[in-house]
């Protein structure tokens, strides 16, 4: 049962229908976040320290949220009560990724403040696109019963290719951070079977990344089955790349607020740099070895096929 409504007020504005953007690592959620953040009337945050502390606690130890029930929702709501404050000093806590979503220059030093990224008087809606929010989706809906969720689904092979080039993603696989001995099954690492846990210490990196993607899309599927249509909208990354204008229109209709088509399309434009290659649909064909493709499809082939992605190796 969802918790009773609790009105949160930020800078004199009531938080109604907050928007949370979810997805596996490197799913393309940042592209939607950029469009929302640069749209009139929105204040979107991403990666604020207080929010990350709470969401990663829930992600890595789900029992914390389930055992505390409404207490977990209150803790998360309090984290956003601080994160969404629009002040110069508050915005100084935003990571570089959040500033980039706004189109602001990188900050150099603690004294390099250039004001908030949005004018408080123009804010009507609040949003967040912090990493790995997917694992706190149930708590988000308890904390904000009128929340609207946007989730992005992407071909797991492209996701794995990107994850393998991201040291921050790979850091979660280090022995000191992998908590399989304390938490099993482990939704965050995507390890659900005893055989997978036993093989984890010697598993190839592509296998570990594939397990994380598989776990995230299974969680997304359960979320879809349990959430009303008016509170969850799914965007396929490949559609976002091919038809950003159509996606922006569909997202605008779902949110009931115009989303910047220019910002969404502009986030896809790169000029011959590495990021352009990584954004390409199907880039895994050039970036993964044949062995890695087999490993990923063996782990996550069922989910890839269910989502409509053609396998390059025989099923099973």
**pLDDT per residue rounded down to tens, the chain (316 residues):** 455 456 799 988 899 999 999 999 999 999 999 999 999 999 999 999 999 999 999 999 999 888 766 799 999 999 999 999 988 777 777 787 887 787 766 555 555 556 677 777 889 999 999 999 999 999 999 999 999 999 999 999 999 999 999 999 999 999 889 999 999 999 999 999 999 999 999 999 999 999 999 999 999 999 999 999 999 999 999 999 999 999 999 999 999 999 988 888 876 654 445 566 557 899 999 999 999 999 999 999 999 999 999 998 665 4
Q: What is the C-alpha separation between 256 and 161, in angstroms, rounded?
A: 35
CA proximity to 215, closest of 187, 234, 256, 254:
187
Instruction: Determine the Cα–Cα distance for residues 282 and 205; give it in Å rounded to an integer.
Output: 20
- Cβ–Cβ under 8 Å, residues 151 and 232: yes
Specify the pLDDT at position 264. Answer: 85
pLDDT value for 220: 96
CA-only gyration radius of the chain, Å: 19
> Can you give the pLDDT at residue 272?
47
Residue 27 sits at φ, ψ, to 5 deg, of: -80, -15
Dist CA 127 CA 129 (whole Å): 7
The pLDDT assigned to 111 comes to: 53
**The whole model's pTM is what?**
0.92
Q: Looking at domain 9-306, which CATH architecture does it have?
A: 3-Layer(aba) Sandwich (3.40)
Which pLDDT score is estimated for 271? 40
Task: Quote the CA–CA distance of 145 and 124 in Å, as a whole number.
Answer: 18
The number of CA neighbours under 13 Å toward the Cβ of 122 is 12
């Amino acid at each position: 049962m969802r918790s009773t409504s609790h009105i949160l007020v930020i800078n004199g504005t009531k938080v109604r229908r907050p928007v949370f953007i979810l997805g596996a690592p490197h799913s393309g959620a940042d592209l939607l976040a950029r469009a929302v953040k640069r749209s009139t009337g929105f204040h979107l945050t991403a990666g604020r320290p207080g929010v990350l502390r709470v969401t990663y606690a829930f992600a890595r130890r789900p029992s914390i949220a389930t055992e505390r029930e409404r207490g977990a929702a209150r803790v998360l709501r309090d984290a956003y009560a601080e994160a969404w404050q629009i002040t110069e000093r508050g915005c100084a806590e935003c990571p570089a990724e959040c500033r980039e979503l706004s189109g602001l220059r990188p900050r150099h030093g603690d004294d390099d403040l250039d004001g908030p990224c949005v004018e408080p008087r123009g804010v009507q809606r609040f949003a967040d696109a912090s990493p790995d929010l997917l694992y706190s989706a149930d708590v988000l809906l308890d904390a904000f019963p009128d929340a609207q969720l946007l989730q992005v689904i992407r071909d797991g092979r492209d996701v794995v290719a990107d994850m393998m080039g991201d040291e921050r993603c790979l850091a979660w696989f280090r022995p000191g951070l992998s908590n399989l001995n304390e938490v099993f099954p482990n939704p965050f690492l995507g390890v659900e079977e005893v055989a997978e846990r036993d093989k984890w210490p010697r598993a190839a990196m592509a296998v570990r990344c594939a397990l994380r993607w598989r776990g995230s899309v299974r969680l997304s599927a359960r979320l879809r089955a349990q959430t009303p249509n008016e509170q969850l909208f799914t965007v396929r990354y490949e559609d976002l790349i091919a038809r950003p204008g159509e996606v922006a229109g569909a997202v605008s209709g779902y949110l009931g607020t115009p989303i910047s088509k220019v910002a969404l399309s502009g986030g896809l434009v790169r000029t011959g740099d590495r990021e352009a290659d990584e954004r390409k649909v199907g880039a895994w064909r050039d970036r993964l070895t044949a062995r890695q493709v087999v490993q990923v499809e063996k782990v996550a082939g069922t989910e890839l096929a269910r989502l409509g992605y053609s396998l390059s190796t025989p099923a099973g």
